[in-house]
Amino acid sequence: MLLNWTVMILYNYFSAMFVGPGYVPLGWTPEKSQDCMYLQYCKVCQSYKAPRSHHCRKCNRCVMKMDHHCPWINNCCGYQNHASFTLFLLLAPLGCIHASFIFVMTMYTQLYNRISFGWSSVKIDMSAAKRDPRPIIPFGLSAFAASLFALGLALGTTIAVGMLFIIQMKVILTNKTSIESWIEEKAKDRIQYYQTGETFIFPYDTGSKWKNFKQVFTWSGIPEGDGLDWPVRDGCHQYTLTIEQLKQKADKRVRSVRYRAIDDYSGVCCPVTKGVKTFFTTPCTEEPRIALSKGDLILATRGLKHWMYGEKILDSAADGGIRERGWFPRKCVEKCQYDSETDQPVDGEKKNR
């Protein structure tokens, strides 16, 4: 049974790794040209981003139904390999639980055969078992230490990977991805901030957990659909989510604050010369850092106490310029006289938008 766990775990692991998530075809455009206004355009892939797709900086492609980029499989989790990845997250804890049971029972039986109880002390003899028959495989102190270490790894994997499985199942049963859950949260914040009176309805949740489950897990192993067109619930259409993404993108540009670099920054993860607090509070994320030179302009969209995230303007054109995104130390920049990408916007105008 332990070998069966191993085979199934490795099969799903390598399937998630080598099958991949599926990518939006290069140069893809919707069938109706007027639908392009509802979609974002990817300059890298030279195509429009299909509904539920996102561009991955690590894969350098637009991924269909992207959930996240997983460094453990060196690939994205998305449309084609979501089922294999989730099964791997399920089978790995189950196999580790089985292994933990073997380790615990092995150590228990071996210690039981080596413990002698005296009137005032308990002695453990790890040299050999005191009962016959003698074990075929010797179990000494080194074997006990190795078993204890392996038990810790198995329990740690069970907890860590098991939590990831629970998170994945939550989004699958609502027919979402981790990115789409974040988009839905931002939609609620945007509506509340601007008080528009809108009601955002996630378009791909069928309302049935079983139907949502079947869109990912099928007997053939091939998920439903083609990764470009998706069934939607009543009252929504194919571009309900992409329209919300465009609104959030415009809102981010309004809320962005312009900063000017006052100190050089090489782009290292943990800069030593920028202060002790900056060094020890570096963001724990795979998002990149951007190098800064004095005079660079940056549009900051979010930040921490000692770090900020934003886009460095590389071209003079504010709207069509190429930008480089990433984290940078807060002490390397200063706020410009106007606080957003537009000159001196009024708070009331932001609120209306």
Which CATH number fits the domain that encloses residue 313?
Answer: 2.30.30.40
Q: Please give the pLDDT value at position 76.
A: 93
Q: Which residues of the chain have pLDDT under 50?
A: 316-321, 340-353
Degrees to nearest 5, angle at CA 169 with 18 and 67? 50
Same domain, 249 and 267: no
In the set 62, 70, 76, 96, the catalytic residue is: 70
- Kindly state whether residue 284 falls inside one of the protein's structural domains: yes
For the entire predicted model, the pTM comes to 0.77
Same domain, 234 and 271: no
Q: Please give the pLDDT value at position 317.
A: 45
Beta-carbon count within 10 A of 213 CB: 14
- Residue-number span of the structural domain to which 105 is assigned: 1-117+138-255
What's the number of CA atoms in the CB half-sphere (13 Å) around residue 81? 27
- Kindly state whether residue 130 falls inside one of the protein's structural domains: no
Same domain, 217 and 299: no
- CA-to-CA distance for 297 and 260, rounded, in angstroms? 5
Kind and range of the H or E run holding 309: strand 307-313
Same domain, 267 and 169: no
Same domain, 278 and 248: no
Do strands 307-313 and 323-329 pair parallel, antiparallel, or not at all (unpaired)?
Answer: antiparallel
- CA-to-CA distance for 162 and 91, rounded, in angstroms? 9
Same domain, 17 and 106: yes
Same domain, 302 and 222: no
Same domain, 161 and 210: yes
Q: Please give the pLDDT value at position 315.
A: 59
CB–CB of 96/155 below 8 Å?
yes
Same domain, 251 and 261: no
- Kindly state whether residue 207 falls inside one of the protein's structural domains: yes
- CA-to-CA distance for 264 and 296, rounded, in angstroms? 9
Q: Please give the pLDDT value at position 328.
A: 93
- Kindly state whether residue 39 falls inside one of the protein's structural domains: yes
Nearest to 172 by CA among 243, 93, 79: 79
Please report, for residues 75, 250, 293, the alpha-carbon distance to residue 319 in angstroms, rounded to integers and kept in the order given: 32, 11, 22
Amino acid at 272: V
Please count the residues of the chain. Answer: 353
Q: Please give the pLDDT value at position 93.
A: 95
Same domain, 203 and 288: no
What residues pair up with 259 in beta bridges, in sequence order?
Answer: 298, 335
| 290 alpha carbon, distance to own chain's centre | 21
Amino acid at 10: L
Same domain, 199 and 327: no
Q: Please give the pLDDT value at position 131.
A: 56
Same domain, 270 and 298: yes
Q: For the chain, how many structural domains are there in total?
A: 2
End-to-end Cα spacing for the chain: 60
Q: Among this protein's residues, is 70 annotated catalytic? A: yes
SS3 at position 29: coil
* Helices within 195-300 (DSSP H only): 209-216, 240-255, 276-280
What residues pair up with 114 in beta bridges, in sequence order?
Answer: none
Helix-strand-coil split of the chain, %, nearest 5: 40, 15, 45
SS3 at position 145: helix
Rg (C-alpha) for the chain, rounded Å, is 27
